[in-house]
Amino acid sequence: MDSALSLHRLHFAFTITYHYIFPQLTMGLAPLIVIFKSLALRSGDERYNKAARFWAKIFAVNFLFGVITGVPMEFQFGTNWARFSQYAGGVIATSLAMEGVFAFFLESSFLGIFLFGEQRFGPKIHWLAAFMVFVGSWASGFFIIVTDAWMQHPVGYEIAADGAAHLNSFWALLFNEWALWQYVHNMSGALVTGSFTMAALGAFYILSASQQEYGRMFVTLGVIAALMSSLFQLWPSGDKHGQLVAKYQPITLAAMEGLFHTESGAPIVLVGQPDTDRQELDNPIYVPKALSFLTHRRWEAEVKGLNEFPRHRWPDNIPLLYYGYHIMVGLGTIFIAITVMAGFLLWRNRLFRVRWMLWILMLSFPFPFIANIAGWITAEVGRQPWLVYGLLRTEHGFSSHVSAGNALFTLIGFMGMYTVLSVLFLFLMWREIVHGPDFFRGIKSSTVERVEAL
Amino acid sequence: MLIAYVVLDGFDLGAGIISFFVARSYDERRLILRAIGPVWDGNEVWLLAAAGALFFAFPSLYAASFSGFYLPLMIVLWLLMLRGVGVELRSHVEDPLWWSFFDFLFSFASVLLAIFFGAAVGNVVRGVPLNEEGYFFEALWTDFQVGPHPGILDWYTVLTGLLAVATLTVHGANYVALKTEGDLCERVRRAAGVGWWPLVVLTALSLIATLYVRPQALDNFNSHPWGWLIPAMVVVSLVAQPLCRLRKNDRAAFLASSLYIIGTLGGAAFALYPILLPASTDPRYSLTVENAKTGAYSLNVGLVWWLVGIALAIGYFTFLYRFFRGKVRLSDDGY
């Protein structure tokens, strides 16, 4: 744990994991807020505007935390991964810089108008501001995905005389086959987070018998959006993304599925702990032949196991990769089950009276966050031992002249700051939730009075 | 882009500094926050976008400077976080204790950021201990001397740090005066006037110190005499400020302090060109435009998307500042 490489890896992994808690909610909520604003404009029903204003308050705090934890990421390529930056900057700095120039300016400019300009500028401009924030945040996601997709599957480049990668096709970079599916899968994942959060809050309001009307509104939109995005995650986006992994990163596929040995008619594993030393799974439960079908569309197809590949090309933390993947898929399956059930009850107009379903909706809200992060762990740990797949190994990319002592100093600094920020975040969110959509300064809502009476 | 960042976020930082000294009540501090509220995040984006553009155009300079300046950069990141939190979360709770804490955080982070940014410019001008691989690492300080192995802080960079504080305080005060009215505006205007004296003294001292630390700085000016317009602009912008203040022309004062920033930073760049990051070890190790730039294809493609992007950004900013023009009042919705 004291080696500089491990610390720089942990530094980036920690800060990016913490950061991503926030943008997934931002990107997930943004389209839902646009939907509320659209409904408000069309129907003239002021309640939709109040709903939008309420979610804007949640959105604002969340967006701020996304920004302040995101700024370090732009810098961290240079600070902790200087050699990688020098190697790959000729390609990926294009997409990263574009994120700054296009997406960040767009979303930050219009966020100001969205949060503070409703009275001044009228409903149409306010709708436009909400829409632009949505576009900006999704554009931001696009450019980041393009960057990561290039690291997973480098395209559109050539190696120059100085040994660094140089871009030679802008469109190949932007329309990288890997990027397109990774993007839709990632954004749909964010929508799962946003919609589950909305449904969970709605369920809380109904269950606690406060803000019932808004509770029903949030549950309705939340469940519908959650159902659509959860299904989309499985097929087509998850499936297509998985096929890309099978095609271009077969070692990763074997590792994440726990397939130590080549098999025809290979199974997927539902549970089972990987033992890398003995190259087997403990207490596995299999679904026979399913992996062969998923990857090659033939039940008896041969899927290569880890044993086919040299050890130095294996991802260096197979258990973490395996669990990241299985947690993501396991949760994704549960989300489908929950949303199908809730969707059915909603269709039958019984959802708001079925308390156990509302409880499930309310309590499941942390899990999309976990699933999204598990997915990213799958992607990034799966890419190991490469920083740029097939071109640059991770151990050759870090800032070797920044000592372990300095890396640990700043890592501890970030951990400390983020602990404090977490407390602040939870406190602020709780206040907004307790106030509810009908709150304005000076007048307490019934929820506040009930909470204060406790 | 970096200059745009300093002009824009510079006044946010300056507002933070001035708020500590001049504002006398919670309401006054709230007004100052209102003045920068809708725009500070967009202003900060210029820093991100500039870092991205630096990475894009000069990847090895980005890699070398960011890892070499690892420690101050990390500290700057933490300070930016604290500043952001200080500005945004202050109005979320109606409690004077809460306000006091976040107001202090806002001011504290603002002044430290100004010092670090000033020291950063000083480091670039003074030179850094680059090795033959094109990398370096600076501890926060070594012996405070300007030699071949300097730290982030030495007598020269502390001086430039103080200059930055003076610059941004005056700049921020000019902006706040522009956006407020009444008694607060008067006091802020007077504070800008008071701050002008140390600004002039520090400017002169820094100029002398710079010529001492980097005597070659004058070479570009001598070979390209039109460059003398830049320091001329700096002098004009300095002289103009008290005149504008006498006439209570806050907009002109703000333009003057903006020009001052453009002039000093532009002048530093002009003096160094084509060197981007000089080496204090061996001049052959310096990073220049030639040896640090990225491939021709990227740059050509970049010309297109960057111009489009910047045009759009300028569009949004004009839109944004137009919408929020005028004096801020407590009755507005918002912070």
* pLDDT tens string A170-220: 999 999 999 999 999 999 999 999 999 999 999 999 999 888 899 999 999
> Residue A357: inside a domain, yes or no?
yes
Instruction: Provide the domain count of chain A.
Output: 1
Residue among A171, A113, A126, A168 at smallest CA distance from A146 = A171
Question: Which of B5, B54, B61, B88 to mutate: most A Cβ within 10 Å?
Answer: B88
* pLDDT tens string B28-68: 888 888 888 778 877 888 888 888 889 999 999 999 999 99
The ipTM is 0.88
Using a CB-CB cut-off of 8 Å, the residues of chain A touching B326 are: none
Q: Give the gap in angstroms from C-alpha A315 to the nearest C-alpha of chain B.
A: 26
> Residue A275: inside a domain, yes or no?
no
Please check the confidence at residue A50 and state whether its pLDDT lies above 80: yes
Alpha-helix residue ranges (DSSP H) falling in A81-235? 82-98, 105-116, 118-152, 170-174, 177-207, 212-232
Using a CB-CB cut-off of 8 Å, the residues of chain A touching B35 are: none
Percent residues over pLDDT 70 in chain A: 96
Res A122: pLDDT:
86
Locate B74 and state its tokens: 């990390």
Distance of alpha carbon A32 from alpha carbon A12, whole angstroms: 31
8 Å CB contact of A421 and B334: no
8 Å CB contact of B294 and A64: no
Using a CB-CB cut-off of 8 Å, the residues of chain A touching B77 are: 71-72, 75
> Residue A364: inside a domain, yes or no?
yes
How are beta strands A165-167 and A263-264 bridged, if at all?
unpaired
Using a CB-CB cut-off of 8 Å, the residues of chain A touching B333 are: 116, 118-119
Position of tokens 């018998």? Answer: A209
Using a CB-CB cut-off of 8 Å, the residues of chain A touching B39 are: 112
Distance of alpha carbon A399 from alpha carbon B274, whole angstroms: 26
Percent residues over pLDDT 70 in chain B: 99
Return the bridge partners of A286, or none.
Answer: A269
Nearest CA in chain B to A415: B78
> Residue A255: inside a domain, yes or no?
no
> Residue A52: inside a domain, yes or no?
yes
* Exposure string over A266-277, b if 16+ CB within 10 A, otherwise e: bbbbeebebeee
8 Å CB contact of A71 and B48: yes
> Residue A64: inside a domain, yes or no?
yes
Average pLDDT over residues A377-392: 96
Domain of residue A370 covers: 4-244+317-453
Using a CB-CB cut-off of 8 Å, the residues of chain A touching B45 are: 100, 104-105, 108
Position A443 confidence tier, pLDDT thresholds 50, 70, 90: very low
Using a CB-CB cut-off of 8 Å, the residues of chain A touching B55 are: 77-78, 85, 89, 93, 96-97
Nearest-by-Cβ selection for B59 from A71, A89, A104: A89
* Exposure string over B313-332, b if 16+ CB within 10 A, otherwise e: beebbeebeebbeeebeeeb
Nearest CA in chain B to A91: B298
Q: Give the gap in angstroms from C-alpha A86 to the nearest C-alpha of chain B.
A: 5
Position B313 confidence tier, pLDDT thresholds 50, 70, 90: confident
Query: Which residues of A296-394 form beta strands (DSSP E)?
Result: 302-303, 386-388, 392-393
Position of tokens 């939190």? Answer: B85
Taking residue A393's Cβ as centre, other Cβ atoms within 10 Å add up to 14
Nearest-by-Cβ selection for A86 from B59, B77, B323: B59
Res B264: pLDDT:
92
Average pLDDT over residues B155-164: 94
Counting one residue from chain A and one from chain B, the pairs whose CB atoms sit within 8 A come to: 216
Res B145: pLDDT:
87
Q: Give the gap in angstroms from C-alpha B191 to the nearest C-alpha of chain A.
A: 29
Q: Which of A95-109, A329-343, B309-323 has the highest mean pLDDT?
A: A329-343
8 Å CB contact of A82 and B136: no
Nearest-by-Cβ selection for A108 from B41, B63, B67: B41
Instruction: Give me the amino acid identity at B236.
Output: V
Nearest CA in chain B to A109: B42
Least confident piece of the model among A116-125, A284-293, B100-109, B235-244: A116-125
CB-count burial class (<10 Å; 0-12, 13-18, 19+) for A17:
middle
Nearest-by-Cβ selection for B52 from A61, A100, A414: A100
Distance of alpha carbon A193 from alpha carbon A370, whole angstroms: 9
Please check the confidence at residue A102 and state whether its pLDDT lies above 80: yes
Please check the confidence at residue A438 and state whether its pLDDT lies above 80: no
Q: Give the gap in angstroms from C-alpha B137 to the nearest C-alpha of chain A.
A: 7
Q: Are B213 and B47 in contact (CB under 8 A)?
A: no
8 Å CB contact of A60 and B65: no
Q: Give the gap in angstroms from C-alpha A96 to the nearest C-alpha of chain B.
A: 6
Res B332: pLDDT:
56
Average pLDDT over residues A268-274: 91
8 Å CB contact of B49 and A69: no
Nearest-by-Cβ selection for B55 from A78, A119, A120: A78
> Residue A266: inside a domain, yes or no?
no
Nearest CA in chain B to A111: B38
Position A444 confidence tier, pLDDT thresholds 50, 70, 90: very low
> Residue A282: inside a domain, yes or no?
no
* pLDDT tens string A232-247: 999 999 999 999 999 9
8 Å CB contact of A97 and B63: no
Taking residue A376's Cβ as centre, other Cβ atoms within 10 Å add up to 19
